[in-house]
Structure 1
Amino acid sequence: MKHIFKEGKQDAPVLLLLHGTGGTEEDLLEVAKMIDEDASVLSVRGNVSENGMPRYFRRLAEGVFDEEDLIFRTKELYEFIDESAEQYGFDRSNVVAVGYSNGANIAGSLLFHYENSLKGALLHHPMVPRKSVEIPNLHGQSVFIGAGANDPICAPEETEELSKLLEEAGADVHVQWEHSGHQLTIEEVKGAAAFYKDNIK
């Protein structure tokens, strides 16, 4: 997978950066600096193209995921993180996802499908990746969700459902609501950074 790796300070977490639809591995580098300047960064470009726009998995329509492709691409990303840990010599158990929109959805899918896939996650405008699946034990994991009260793509009910599912699996979840739409706001990033410092790092 096309990616950028930047080594940070020893023992600092590795921030797994996952962009939104049409983004690239460059998109969230400044966000990563705001969250933790000392962290290593593994920023990955989605392997799927939708009308020339990179994504992490296919969708059938707006808000309707291709579940078969989602499962396949989640496994692909999970294995890529494993391979990257070997290649770059970082601690596989110290990976924190930072995802926006489509990137937040694939990060959520990692949590839904693989136990201990992430140390924690900062999810901006995520949806529920799959309905009616048994989620692995997430005890000890912390998840931040940034949400827009007026988000036309990710309705507040979707955010509340995702939060409930993650909490029922044992995760410590914090939702930060903004009076905004689907865009990633500076207030959200600041909130994610504070949550990360207090609960994950």
Structure 2
Amino acid sequence: MTGHAHVVEAPDGASPRLALMLLHGTGGDEHDLVPLGREAVPDAVLIGVRGRVLERGAPRFFRRLAEGAFDEADLVARAADLAAFAEAAFARHAPGLPRAALGFSNGANIAAALMLLHPRLLDAAVLLRPMVPLVPSALPDLAGRRALIASGIADPLAPPAEGARLAALLRGAGAAVRTLAVPAGHGLTRADVSAAASFLAPAGVAG
């Protein structure tokens, strides 16, 4: 499989029940969220993916014009490219399993874009410190899809108001959305790991 640098990790000694795609923040790589993903879902097949856009040498999943201003045409094209990669990766490494994504910051934004632009790809998404990536001209049908949005109360980059806007957008498309306000800034905390674990528990997405 070509196109995106990635890493795949099967669960250790357990039958997998979930395929979890991990999408890093700006400057990260395919390994960044593997420990968080494994702790949150010990019995998941983890697929860590590296973004293909470089911003001053830092990997991202799509271009931006300035802080908080996204290149929407590039976002749409990169989301289509990532969706095609993910379809192939899920089919190869986790056939028949429920599909989820866990993204942080830029990775959360591309995961939200996948839900809005490719609504059949994912069953659920954990969006940590997201913004609204784009507002499609027509909302998709996200009935039966689920999302967790975790915003940092003191986050100057992706403030809680952005998380609330994204939650309203996804709910408007029919998704079931859970929101969480974490006492933190843009960085991740133990509360994010616990929330992801609860959201992706067997009684949830794979129940």
TM over 0.5: yes
C-alpha deviation, 1:7, in angstroms: 2.5
Correspondence list, 1:179-198, <5 A: 179-197=183-201, 198=203
**Superposition pairs for residues 27-42 of structure 1, below 5 Å?**
27-42=32-47
RMSD: 1.4
Residue identity matched to 1:116: R
Aligned residues: 200
Could you tell me which residue of structure 1 aligns to residue 68 of structure 2? Answer: 63
Matched, 1:13 2:18: yes
Quick check: 1:142–1:199 contact (8 Å CA) kept in 2?
no
User: For the residues of structure 1 that align with 2:100 and 2:128, how far apart are their CA atoms?
Assistant: 13
The residue type equivalent to 2:25 in the other structure is G
8 Å Cα contact 1:34/1:190 also seen in 2 = no
Pick aligned residue for 1:22 from 19, 27, 30: 27
Distance 1:179 1:89, change over 3 A: closer
Distance apart, 1:90 and its partner CA: 2.2
C-alpha displacement of 1:133: 2.9
Residue matched to 2:50: 45
Percentage of matched positions with identical amino acids = 39
CA distance in 1, matches of 2:53, 2:170: 26
Partners of 2:21 and 2:94 in 1: how far apart?
15
Structure-2 residue corresponding to 1:4? 7
The offset of 1:106, in angstroms, is 0.3
Deviations 1:109-135 (A, max 9, x none): 000101211010011001111035322
Identify which of 153, 173, 176 aligns with 1:172: 176
Please name the residue that 2:148 is paired with.
144
What's the CA shift for 1:6? 1.6
- Taking structure 2 as the reference length, the TM-score comes to 0.92
> In proportion to residue count, which structure has more helix?
1
The change in CA–CA distance for 1:78 and 1:132 in structure 2 (over 3 A counts) is closer
Distance (Å, rounded) in 1 between the aligned partners of 2:90 and 2:126: 20
Contact 2:45–2:93 (Cα < 8 Å) also in 1: no
The one-letter amino acid paired with 1:47 is: R
User: What amino acid does structure 1 have at the position aligned with 2:141?
Assistant: N
Q: TM-score, normalised by structure 1?
A: 0.94
SS at match of 2:200: helix
Counterpart residue type for residue 181 of structure 2: W
Query: Within 1, Cα distance between the matches of 2:17 and 2:205?
Result: 11
